[in-house]
């Protein structure tokens, strides 16, 4: 119980064991790789949400950015823009949306939760204003490969993208001076500022990067499901935050690891996949993930207190 | 003695007046009795829920589970009404409060007892309660014709011209005003949100106060759940989806600080009025309902930016000469 990652590994093994006992279809290589697609987009956003939360901020607008970027992608596709152009546009739009969040938060010194509640309505609202109750469903040939294609017919491209990003984010957060500054201001913003760290600049860039990841997740999701609707990805922000917290990142900032978050992504993903195999309806998943979130945080707290009492 | 109407409230009142005047010019029907009645009834539910949200915010917490609690309790009372159409309304109201209290008590124990941050707890229970609505209803809707008559009629029945929903909202708001401004518990809330350590030193029992707050937000959410379902005459899994963020937005517009320690009843009501007026007036001035979300988002952002400029802390210059030199440069 010393390290949170150990707990998550045990949890992951437990989930996979139960799944393979409950369903003969679980331990199938194709099924397993296939199942990752259902959560890779959220996982990509969880990677960039992690430094945001470690830095004492939060971004509730991620799902809205995904809807906004997807709307842009759908609209540009009707104008005849090609696959590469669509992907680039989505990432650029997401980056701008994230930069807008970061700029308002740091420029006006407003708490991130307040600003992103506003932009959550604003961004998704723009999507509703453009689309109404309609949907975009036509994309250029080859566009579907982004979200549906796979390497050697086995490893989905989405998973490859996620793996590369996971390595990059882990390296930046745990192996660079930027990461060390992140933990410094996440623990004590005032002390960090007095020691010469440009706290607001870092926060701004982490929001911007988070937006970029939403743009990327958006184009992958759009390609996978082949449609844009303004209500897409509803309440994903809470799923993403739940995974980050389950991964051992303190919601109060200042601590957490990316390997923990990556493990939590798979715990949650495999749990969802397993329940799906057992024909549990999707909405029931919300009970399980909510309970898992609370139990995962409560158990160590209670244990720690029990240990402290005995000493 | 400070003036009861703070400057920010005055600004909000002026903005509200301008908004109402502008809408009324385009669509005089906005000021008709029927329209104002709808405005009050919608605003009543939002204002009372924003008020209990404010209690949580003042202590430096937040309750994201209130909308899910509303949906769950609303569904539970709707199922009761379908099974026993003759159930007296008094029992419906009492059971909505009791069920809401249970949902709130679970939050309260996890927050005050176990010590998990409120945002994490209520994020989790929000998910659980929303899923539980599906669990108890099997995903089915309870439609208007399935309710007992009393269930639907009482909430929208009138006394002295106002619907019972509005009267309940007024009662909750008055009670909130008394607790916050004239009771020791209210002062404890501000003390906790302002400075936790100092509050503990002066002998405020933190966990007891926090326990009460989340039990209360739960109970009132339960009641609001019944009112909501009765008003719209339908209960389903997505009832009041996203309403928790509307209550937070109303508070923030009204000047309640998310960081805790600040917030007044009047501001909170004005914030709720601001949101309700925007949402209800757009259809009247022929703005497509699909623009509602974008416009309310922009309005929330504008309001918080204006607020932040009004109360940006003035830093104490420790190097006045350097600052002066920089300014002239």
- What confidence tens digit (pLDDT) does each residue in B187-216 have? 888 988 888 888 888 888 888 899 999 999
When scoring A116, A290, A291, A303 by the number of chain B Cβ atoms within 10 A, the one with the most, hence best to mutate, is A290
Q: What is the mean pLDDT of residues B144-161?
A: 81
Q: Least CA distance to A107: which residue of chain B?
A: B305
**Paired sense of beta strands B158-159 and B162-163, if any:** antiparallel
Q: Residue A150: helix, strand or coil by DSSP?
A: strand
Asked if residue A291 lies in contact with residue B124, where contact means CB atoms within 8 angstroms, the answer is yes
H/E segment holding residue A161? helix A157-175
Asked whether residue B3 carries a pLDDT value surpassing 80, the answer given is no
Q: Is B295 exposed, middle or buried (0-12, 13-18, 19+ CB in 10 A)?
A: middle
ipTM for the whole complex: 0.82
pLDDT value of position A253: 86
Show contacts of A173-177: CB within 8 Å, 24+ apart: A173/A50, A173/A51, A173/A54, A173/A257, A173/A258, A174/A257, A174/A258
In Å, how far is B162's CA from the nearest CA of chain A?
A: 32
pLDDT value of position A209: 96
pTM to 2 decimal places: 0.84
In this predicted model, which residue has the larger pLDDT, B28 or A183? Answer: A183
Q: Least CA distance to A306: which residue of chain B?
A: B114
Taking only Cα atoms into account, the Rg of chain A, rounded to an integer number of angstroms, comes to 20
Q: Residue B64: helix, strand or coil by DSSP?
A: coil
When scoring A125, A251, A304 by the number of chain B Cβ atoms within 10 A, the one with the most, hence best to mutate, is A125
Residue A125 touches partner B, C-beta closer than 8 Å: yes
Rounded Cα–Cα distance for residues A175 and A256 (Å) = 14
Residue A134 touches partner B, C-beta closer than 8 Å: no
Q: Do A301 and B305 touch (CB under 8 A)?
A: no
Q: What is the mean pLDDT of residues B262-285?
A: 87
Asked whether residue B316 carries a pLDDT value surpassing 80, the answer given is no
Q: Where are the alpha helices (DSSP H) in A226-281?
A: 236-246, 258-277
Q: Residue A92: helix, strand or coil by DSSP?
A: helix
Residue A238 touches partner B, C-beta closer than 8 Å: yes
Contact list in B for residue A135 (CB cut-off 8 A) is none
Residue A154 touches partner B, C-beta closer than 8 Å: no
- Residue extents of the structural domains in chain B: 38-306
Q: Do B295 and A125 touch (CB under 8 A)?
A: yes
Rounded Cα–Cα distance for residues A148 and A141 (Å) = 13
pLDDT value of position B74: 93
β-strand partners of A150:
A156
Q: Least CA distance to A282: which residue of chain B?
A: B131
Query: What residue has token string 């006394």?
Result: B159
pLDDT value of position A98: 96
B319 pLDDT band (50/70/90 cuts)? low
pLDDT value of position B217: 95
Who among B120, B248, B293 is closest to A245 (CB)? Answer: B120
B146 pLDDT band (50/70/90 cuts)? confident
In Å, how far is B158's CA from the nearest CA of chain A?
A: 34
The topology under which CATH files domain A4-310 is ABC transporter involved in vitamin B12 uptake, BtuC (1.10.3470)
Q: Which of B161, B137, B155 is nearest to B233 (CA)?
A: B155
Who among A125, A133, A230 is closest to B297 (CB)? Answer: A125
Beta strands in chain A (DSSP E): 150-151, 155-156
pLDDT value of position B53: 94
Tens digits of residue pLDDT in A181-222: 999 999 999 999 999 999 999 999 999 999 999 999 999 999
B314 pLDDT band (50/70/90 cuts)? very low
Tens digits of residue pLDDT in A125-159: 999 988 888 888 888 888 887 878 778 878 888 89
Residue B105 touches partner A, C-beta closer than 8 Å: no
Rounded Cα–Cα distance for residues A23 and A274 (Å) = 8
Question: What percent of chain A shows pLDDT beyond 90?
Answer: 47
Q: Which of A19-33, B54-68, B93-107, B228-242 has the lowest mean pLDDT?
A: A19-33
Mean pLDDT of chain B: 85
Q: Do B131 and A286 touch (CB under 8 A)?
A: yes
Contact list in B for residue A238 (CB cut-off 8 A) is 123, 126-127
Beta strands in chain B (DSSP E): 158-159, 162-163
B328 pLDDT band (50/70/90 cuts)? low
Q: What is the mean pLDDT of residues B76-87?
A: 88
pLDDT value of position B218: 95
Q: Do A286 and B130 touch (CB under 8 A)?
A: yes
Asked whether residue A255 carries a pLDDT value surpassing 50, the answer given is yes
In Å, how far is B33's CA from the nearest CA of chain A?
A: 30
Q: Do B116 and A294 touch (CB under 8 A)?
A: yes
pLDDT value of position A81: 86
Provide the CATH number for the domain formed by B38-306 in this structure. Answer: 1.10.3470
Q: Do B291 and A125 touch (CB under 8 A)?
A: yes
In this predicted model, which residue has the larger pLDDT, B281 or B307? Answer: B281
When scoring B50, B124, B136 by the number of chain A Cβ atoms within 10 A, the one with the most, hence best to mutate, is B124
pLDDT value of position B244: 86
In this predicted model, which residue has the larger pLDDT, A57 or B319? Answer: A57
Q: Least CA distance to B260: which residue of chain A?
A: A111
Asked whether residue B324 carries a pLDDT value surpassing 80, the answer given is no
Q: Which of A2-11, A22-31, B158-167 has the lowest mean pLDDT?
A: A22-31
Residue A272 touches partner B, C-beta closer than 8 Å: no
Q: Which of A177, A202, A194, A190 is nearest to A106 (CA)?
A: A202
pLDDT value of position A1: 47
Asked whether residue B236 carries a pLDDT value surpassing 90, the answer given is no
pLDDT value of position B288: 81
In Å, how far is B295's CA from the nearest CA of chain A?
A: 7
Rounded Cα–Cα distance for residues A124 and A274 (Å) = 31
In this predicted model, which residue has the larger pLDDT, B320 or B281? Answer: B281
When scoring A71, A105, A122 by the number of chain B Cβ atoms within 10 A, the one with the most, hence best to mutate, is A122
In Å, how far is A290's CA from the nearest CA of chain B?
A: 4
Tens digits of residue pLDDT in A179-190: 999 999 999 999
Question: What percent of chain B shows pLDDT beyond 90?
Answer: 30
Find residues 69-88 of chain B whose CB sits inside 8 Å of chain A. none
Cα–chain center distance at B124: 19
Rounded Cα–Cα distance for residues A158 and B142 (Å) = 41
Asked whether residue B1 carries a pLDDT value surpassing 50, the answer given is no
Rounded Cα–Cα distance for residues B6 and B264 (Å) = 10
């Amino acid at each position: 119980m010393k390290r949170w990652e150990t707990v998550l590994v045990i949890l992951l093994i437990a989930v996979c064991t139960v799944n393979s006992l409950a369903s003969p279809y679980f331990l199938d290589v194709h099924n397993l790789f296939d199942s990752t697609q259902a959560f890779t987009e959220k996982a990509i956003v969880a990677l960039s949400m992690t430094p945001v939360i470690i830095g004492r901020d939060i971004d509730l607008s991620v799902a809205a950015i995904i809807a906004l970027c997807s709307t842009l992608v759908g609209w540009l596709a009707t104008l005849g823009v090609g696959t590469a152009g669509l992907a680039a546009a989505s990432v650029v739009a997401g980056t701008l949306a994230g930069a807008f969040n970061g700029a308002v938060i740091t420029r006006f010194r407003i708490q991130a939760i307040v600003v992103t509640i506003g932009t959550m309505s604003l961004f998704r609202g723009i999507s509703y204003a453009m689309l109404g109750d309609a949907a975009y469903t036509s994309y250029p040939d080859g566009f579907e490969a982004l979200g549906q294609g796979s390497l050697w017919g086995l490893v989905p491209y989405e998973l490859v993208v996620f793996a590369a990003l996971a390595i990059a984010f882990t390296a930046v957060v745990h192996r660079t001076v930027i990461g060390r500054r992140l933990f410094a201001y996440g623990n004590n913003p005032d002390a960090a500022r007095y020691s010469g760290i440009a706290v607001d600049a870092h926060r701004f860039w982490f929001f911007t990067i988070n937006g970029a990841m939403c743009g990327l997740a958006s184009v992958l999701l759009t390609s996978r499901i082949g449609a844009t609707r303004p209500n897409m990805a509803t309440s994903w922000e809470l799923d993403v935050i739940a995974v980050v917290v389950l991964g051992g990142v303190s919601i109060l900032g200042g601590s957490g690891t990316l390997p923990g978050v990556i493990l939590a992504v798979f715990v949650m993903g495999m749990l969802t996949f397993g329940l799906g195999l057992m024909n549990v309806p999707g909405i029931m998943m919300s009970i399980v993930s909510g309970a898992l979130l609370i139990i995962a945080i409560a158990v160590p707290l209670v244990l720690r207190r029990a240990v402290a009492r005995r000493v | 003695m400070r003036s009861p109407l703070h400057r920010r409230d005055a600004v909000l009142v002026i903005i509200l007046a301008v908004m109402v005047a502008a809408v009324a010019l385009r669509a005089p029907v906005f000021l008709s009795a029927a329209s104002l009645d709808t405005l009050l009834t919608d605003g009543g539910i939002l204002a009372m829920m924003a008020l209990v949200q404010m209690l949580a915010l003042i202590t430096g917490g937040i309750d994201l589970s209130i909308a899910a609690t509303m949906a769950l309790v609303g569904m539970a009372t709707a199922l009761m009404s379908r099974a026993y159409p003759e159930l007296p309304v008094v029992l419906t109201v009492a059971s909505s409060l009791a069920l809401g209290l249970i949902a709130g008590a679970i939050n309260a124990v996890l927050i005050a007892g176990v010590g998990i941050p409120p945002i994490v707890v209520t994020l989790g229970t929000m998910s659980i309660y929303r899923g539980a609505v599906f669990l108890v209803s099997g995903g089915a809707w309870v439609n208007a014709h399935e309710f007992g008559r009393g269930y639907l009629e009482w909430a929208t029945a009138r006394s002295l011209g106002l619907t019972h929903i509005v009267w309940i909202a007024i009662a909750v708001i008055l009670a909130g005003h008394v607790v916050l401004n004239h009771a020791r518990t209210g002062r404890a809330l501000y003390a906790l949100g302002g400075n936790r350590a100092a509050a503990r030193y002066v002998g405020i029992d933190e966990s007891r106060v926090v326990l009460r707050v989340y039990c209360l937000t739960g109970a009132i959410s339960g009641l609001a759940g019944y009112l909501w379902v009765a008003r719209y005459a339908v209960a389903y899994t997505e009832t009041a989806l996203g309403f928790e963020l509307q209550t937070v937005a109303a508070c923030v517009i009204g000047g309640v600080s998310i960081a805790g320690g600040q917030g007044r009843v009047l501001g909170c009501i004005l914030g709720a009025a601001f949101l309700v007026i925007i949402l209800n007036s757009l259809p009247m001035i022929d703005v497509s309902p699909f623009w509602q979300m974008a416009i309310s988002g922009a309005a929330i952002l504008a309001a918080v930016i204006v607020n932040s400029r009004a109360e940006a802390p003035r830093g104490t210059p420790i190097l006045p000469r350097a600052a002066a030199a920089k300014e002239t440069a």
